[in-house]
């Protein structure tokens, strides 16, 4: 299905926001309920960027490949955790450009299908936050595992480093499936030797005041916590890249 992206410049970052048109995926949230208009409507443009174009071009590009947790369902673009990370990293002297390639309802297979175009943008780092929707739909654990491995392999072949975001699902999906799903991420990270954020929603999942009314998607305050969960791992990768570049 066609996906169109909008580039949104904000101070210290470049956002490439996916807009889904007339697909089944954008008509459903992770629990299968009808999506709110925010799930499919284009985001309003952010304020113009202040850094010079030359400075933006020199900054490493970080692609966030994910689902609605990354897209920031129900929130403005500048309140998503990729945007928050770009500002926080810039404040720490690690200016980056960001492509927020989060798509509401996306799966590991969907992320794999749209990866080639994103890799053509020559990212330094690909942050992979996929698999939650697969699990909510009861997809086989082995299939999710294979898709994540393929994403890592293709990103590396393109010269990008990979940061994997661990996911978990509620226990009502059964103890065996819940445990098998959670085990995918540390196994892939160990086998492929990629850094892993143990659980993207640590300190957010299940806390009502940090989640929107659906109980799944973080509020603006929840996104701040999510960004804090990811930041040390991404910062470490970027510093490694800087040292390797000399």
The tens digit of pLDDT for each residue in 135-174 reads 999 999 999 999 999 999 999 999 999 999 999 998 989 9
Nearest CA-CA partner of 35 in 2, 3, 6, 68:
68
141-144: which pairs have CB atoms within 8 A and are 24 or more residues apart? 141/177, 141/180, 141/181, 141/184, 143/108, 143/109, 144/108, 144/181, 144/184
What's the token pair of residue 92?
């720490």
SS3 state at 14: strand
Q: What is the pLDDT of residue 58?
A: 79
Query: In whole angstroms, what is the distance from residue 51 CA to residue 55 CA?
Result: 6
Catalytic residue among 92, 108, 214, 241: 214
Query: In whole angstroms, what is the distance from residue 94 CA to residue 235 CA?
Result: 8
Q: What pTM value is reported for the model?
A: 0.79
203-208: which pairs have CB atoms within 8 A and are 24 or more residues apart? 203/229, 204/229, 205/168
Catalytic residue among 78, 122, 217, 236: 217
Catalytic annotation on 214?
yes
Catalytic residue among 67, 68, 134, 145: 68
The tens digit of pLDDT for each residue in 168-209 reads 998 989 999 999 999 999 999 999 999 999 999 999 999 999
What's the CATH class of domain 3-245?
A: alpha beta
Among the listed ranges 34-38, 58-62, 147-151, 180-184, which one has the minimum average pLDDT value? 34-38
Residue labelled with tokens 């459903």:
28
Q: Do residues 145 and 185 lie in contact, with contact meaning Cβ atoms separated by under 8 Å?
A: no
**The pLDDT of residue 26 is above 70:** no
């Amino acid at each position: 299905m066609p996906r169109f992206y909008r580039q949104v410049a904000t101070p210290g970052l470049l956002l490439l926001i996916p807009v889904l048109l007339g697909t089944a995926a954008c008509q459903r949230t992770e629990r299968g309920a009808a999506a709110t208009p925010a799930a499919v409507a284009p985001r309003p443009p952010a304020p113009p960027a202040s850094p010079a174009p030359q400075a933006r071009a020199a900054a490493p590009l970080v692609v966030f490949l994910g689902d609605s947790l990354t897209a920031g369902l129900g929130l403005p673009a500048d309140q998503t955790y990729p945007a928050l990370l770009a500002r926080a990293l810039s404040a720490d002297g690690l200016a980056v450009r960001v492509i927020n390639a989060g798509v509401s309802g996306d799966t590991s297979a969907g992320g794999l299908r749209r990866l080639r175009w994103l890799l053509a943008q020559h990212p330094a780092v690909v942050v992979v936050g996929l698999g939650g929707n697969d699990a909510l739909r009861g997809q086989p654990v082995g299939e999710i595992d294979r898709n994540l491995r393929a994403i890592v392999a293709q990103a590396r072949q393109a010269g990008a480093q990979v940061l994997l975001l661990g996911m978990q699902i509620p226990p009502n999906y059964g103890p065996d499936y819940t445990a098998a799903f959670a085990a995918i991420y540390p196994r892939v990270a160990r086998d492929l030797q990629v850094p892993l954020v143990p659980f993207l929603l640590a300190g957010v999942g299940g806390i009502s005041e940090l989640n929107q009314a659906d109980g799944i998607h973080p509020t603006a305050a929840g996104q701040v916590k999510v960004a804090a969960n990811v930041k040390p791992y991404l910062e470490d990768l970027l510093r490694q890249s800087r040292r390797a570049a000399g």
